[in-house]
Amino acid sequence: MWAFLQHLSFWDWLALGTVLLILEVFGAGGYLLWIGMAAATVGVLTFVLPSMPWALQFLLFGLLSIATALYWWRRQRSAVRESDQPNLNLRGQELIGKTFVVHEAIVDGRGKIKVADGVWMARGPDAALGSRVRVVSQQGAILLVERAD
Count how many residues are written for the chain: 149
Tell me if 68 sits within 8 A of 35, measured CB to CB: yes
Question: pLDDT above 90 covers what percent of the chain?
Answer: 40
pLDDT single digits (tens) 120-135: 999 999 999 999 999 9
Q: Does the pLDDT of residue 1 top 70, yes or no?
A: no
Q: Does the pLDDT of residue 6 top 70, yes or no?
A: no
Domains in the chain: boundaries:
2-78, 93-147
The answer to whether the pTM exceeds 0.75 is no
Backbone angles phi, psi at 132, to 5 degrees: -105, 140
Question: pLDDT above 70 covers what percent of the chain?
Answer: 92
Q: What is the pLDDT of residue 143?
A: 93
Which residues are paired to 135 by β-bridges? 145
Q: Is the dihedral of CA 132, 138, 143, 147 positive or negative?
A: negative
CATH, domain range 93-147 = 2.40.50.140
Helix H, strand E, coil C: the string for the chain is CHHHHHCCCHHHHHHHHHHHHHHHHCCCCCHHHHHHHHHHHHHHHHHHCCCCCHHHHHHHHHHHHHHHHHHHHHHHHHCCCCCCCCCCCCCCHHHCCCEEEEEEEEECCEEEEEECCEEEEEECCCECCCCEEEEEEEECCEEEEEECC
Q: Does the pLDDT of residue 34 top 80, yes or no?
A: yes
Residue 17, number of CB atoms within 10 A of its CB:
22
pLDDT single digits (tens) 40-73: 999 999 999 888 888 899 899 999 999 988 888 8
Q: How far apart are CA 106 and CA 122, in angstroms?
A: 8
